[in-house]
Structure 1
Amino acid sequence: MQAYEFINSLIPPLKLTDRAGMALNWMEEIRTDSLPVIDQGRFLGFIEDEIIFELNDREELIGNIQLESNACWVFSDKHIYDVLRVASENQSNLVAVVDRENTYLGVVTMEDAIAAFADSLSIKSQGSVLILSLQMKDYQLSEISRLVESENTKILSSFITSDPLDDSRIKLTLKLDKPELRHVKATLERFGYRVIDHYQEESGISSEEDRIGNLLRFLDI
């Protein structure tokens, strides 16, 4: 699940000596609104189509155009989580990947990163999703797993997000291997856990669109 594994080889980098018109042609061809720019193997940032349109000069050199998101990159050995974090921080659909010598290797698209993230959370596996709200100091996954397993159910994956309304609380999302949640939910509530949401998946979910949709529900987007 390292960043270099998800580099999209179809997205080429631009050089400072390339023309704006070529950048627009490439963007149209691969259906993206930005492209990475490199110089002597070093990542410099991304060029956006909006900026080129505003200049209205297809002959302008890329080197004379303002670049965006020069910090939107990760090392090649970083986890796909880091790719998503950097993309979110920079509000970018592309994240550059460099090696430990800062040599540009390529970019990861958010579509590929989200699909990989979905796989890591076992979203394609049938089951259900349970979301708990609890104090960070009370978080013990081993204890929660014990209670879930007491109902003959397994936790396939878990994910923590902070509570935007209370810094001391977290939301714990659990992917379970069984579609029936009633007994698990009752057991957790009996031991003082607060269940704030749940999703019982229907059988036959396999398309990429459904998997991405489930991921977005995981993240509360």
Structure 2
Amino acid sequence: MQAFEYINNLIPPLKITDQTGKALLWMEEIRTNCLPVVQDKFFKGLVTDEQIYTLNQPKLTMDAVELENQACFVYLDKHIYDVIRTAAEFHTNMVAVLDKNNEYLGVITMEDAITAFADSLSIQSNGAVIVLSMFMTDYSMSEIARVIESENAKILSSFIASDPLDDSKIKLTLKLDKTELRHVKATLERFGYHVLDHYQEQAGVSEDQERIDNLFRFLDI
């Protein structure tokens, strides 16, 4: 799941000599609010439609625009997690991808990154999600898996995030192959694990919508 695998080839880069009018036209055609700008194969930053509307000079070239997010990039061999982290850090929906010579290869959109992220978390598989809160020193995936498997359940995927309320703790999100969590939850609590939240598939609820909702909960969006 390396970054170069998810480059969106439908999004062209602007040249430093291109005008803001052209940038807006491309944004409207592609239906995006920003575009990458390059100069001699090197990434110079992102330009947004908001910037262009504020300037209100359609013949102004990119070299006269104060480009944003010049450091909003990842290298081609970085994991898709790094793409999402970078996008969140710069508050943008587009991340540039560079090769080892710092030359521009393309961009990854947040939509593409989230789709890849969802696939890595087995979102398409049936099952429920459970979120545990614990101290990092208490984290042992093998022990947690043993407890869960004692209830004839399997861990399909896992995701660790820092707890925003306590730097010494983590939130461990687990996707299981069971749709009913009552026994798993009770057993985890019996072994001293704090179940922070859980999400089960319910009759009458769109599976696709629930999976999307779960994903955004994973990302704390």
AA paired with 1:147?
V
Matched, 1:100 2:100: yes
Shift of 1:218: 2.1
Matched, 1:42 2:39: no
Give the TM-score normalised by structure 2. Answer: 0.96
Match of 1:126 in 2: 126
Shift of 1:17: 1.0
1:136-174 superposed Cα distances (whole Å, 9 cap, x missing partner): 111111000000001110000111111122111111111
1:59-96 superposed Cα distances (whole Å, 9 cap, x missing partner): 11111111000000000111101101111111110000
Q: Distance in 1 between matches of 2:160 and 2:130?
A: 12
**Residue pair 2:2, 2:80 contacting (<8 A) in 1 also:** yes
Match of 2:13 in 1: 13
Match of 1:135 in 2: 135
Unaligned ranges ≥5, structure 2: none
Match of 1:173 in 2: 173
AA paired with 2:147?
L
Q: Which moved more, 1:164-173 or 1:18-27?
A: 164-173
**Residue pair 1:19, 1:61 contacting (<8 A) in 2 also:** yes
Shift of 1:39: 0.3
**Residue pair 1:124, 1:206 contacting (<8 A) in 2 also:** no
Q: Distance in 1 between matches of 2:40 and 2:164?
A: 43
Q: Distance in 1 between matches of 2:220 and 2:110?
A: 17
**Residue pair 1:130, 1:199 contacting (<8 A) in 2 also:** yes
**Residue pair 1:94, 1:108 contacting (<8 A) in 2 also:** yes
AA paired with 2:101?
E
SS at match of 2:188: helix
Q: Distance in 1 between matches of 2:212 and 2:124?
A: 10
Match of 2:54 in 1: 54
Shift of 1:213: 2.2
Spell out structure 1 runs of 4+ moving beyond 6 A: none
Unaligned ranges ≥5, structure 1: none
Shift of 1:212: 2.8
Q: Distance in 2 between matches of 1:127 and 1:176?
A: 5
- The percent of aligned pairs where both chains have the same amino acid is 64
Q: Distance in 2 between matches of 1:39 and 1:103?
A: 10
**Residue pair 1:115, 1:212 contacting (<8 A) in 2 also:** no
**Residue pair 2:201, 2:210 contacting (<8 A) in 1 also:** no
Shift of 1:210: 4.4
SS at match of 2:185: helix
Shift of 1:205: 5.1
Paired residues in the alignment total: 220
Aligned-residue Cα RMSD (Å) equals 1.3
